[in-house]
Amino acid sequence: MRIDVLTLFPGMILPVIKESIIGRAISEGNVTINVIDFRDFSTNKHQKVDDYPFGGGVGMVLQVEPIVRALRSIEGYQEALKIITTPQGETLHQSLSESFSHQDHLIILCGHYEGFDERVRDYFDCEVSIGDYVLTGGEYAALVIIDSVIRLRPGVLNKDESHQDDSFSEGLLEYPQYTRPRVFEGKDVPEVLLSGNHQAIKAWRDHERLKRTKERRKDLYDRYIKRHK
Ligand code: 6GU
Task: Tell me the pLDDT tens digit for each residue of 153-181.
Answer: 999 998 777 666 676 768 899 999 999 99
pLDDT of residue 114: 76
Q: Which residues of 180-191 are buried (b: 16+ CB within 10 A; e: fewer)?
A: eeeeeeeeebee
- Which atom of ligand 1 lies closest to the CA of 136? 4
The tens digit of pLDDT for each residue in 30-64 reads: 999 999 999 999 999 999 999 999 999 999 999 99
Domain boundaries, given as residue ranges, for the chain: 2-150, 164-227
Ligand 1 and 111: CB distance under 6 A = yes
The closest of 141, 138, 109, 139 to 41, measured between CA atoms, is 109
- pLDDT value of position 164: 63
* Per-residue model confidence as pLDDT tens digits over 127-142: 999 999 999 999 999 9
pLDDT at 113 over 80: no
32-37 and 126-129: which strand pairing? Answer: unpaired
What average pLDDT does range 196-211 have in this prediction? 97
CB of 42 sitting under 6 A from ligand 1? no
Q: What is the mean pLDDT of the chain?
A: 95
The response to whether residue 88 sits with its C-beta less than 6 Å from ligand 1 reads no
- Calculate the alpha carbon distances from 145 to 109, 124, 151, 158, 191 in Å: 12, 16, 10, 20, 39
119 as an active site residue: the answer is no
Distance (angstroms) between ligand 1 centre and the Cα of 59 equals: 17
Q: What is the CATH code for 2-150?
A: 3.40.1280.10
Q: Can you state the percent helix, strand and coil of the chain, rounding each to 5?
A: 40, 20, 40
In DSSP notation, 40-69 reads: GG--STT---EEPPTT--SS-EE-HHHHHH
Verify cis geometry, omega within 30 degrees of 0, for the bond prior to 66: no
Tallying the residues shown for the chain, one arrives at: 229
Assign domain 164-227 to a CATH class: mainly alpha
Do the Cβ atoms of 63 and 49 come closer than 8 Å?
Answer: yes
- Region 196-222: mean pLDDT is 97
Find the catalytic residue in 4, 37, 87, 139.
Answer: 87
Q: Is the pLDDT of residue 81 over 90?
A: yes
Q: What is the pTM of this model?
A: 0.93
Backbone angles phi, psi at 158, to 5 degrees: -90, 175
**CA dist., res. 85 & res. 148, Å (int):** 14
Q: Would residue 166 show up in a list of annotated catalytic residues for this protein?
A: yes
Q: Is 173 in the pocket of ligand 1 (CB under 6 A)?
A: no
Q: Computed from CA positions of residues 120, 124, 126, 128, in that sequence, does the dihedral angle turn out positive or negative?
A: negative
- The whole-number pLDDT of residue 192 equals 98
Residue 224 pLDDT > 90, yes or no? yes
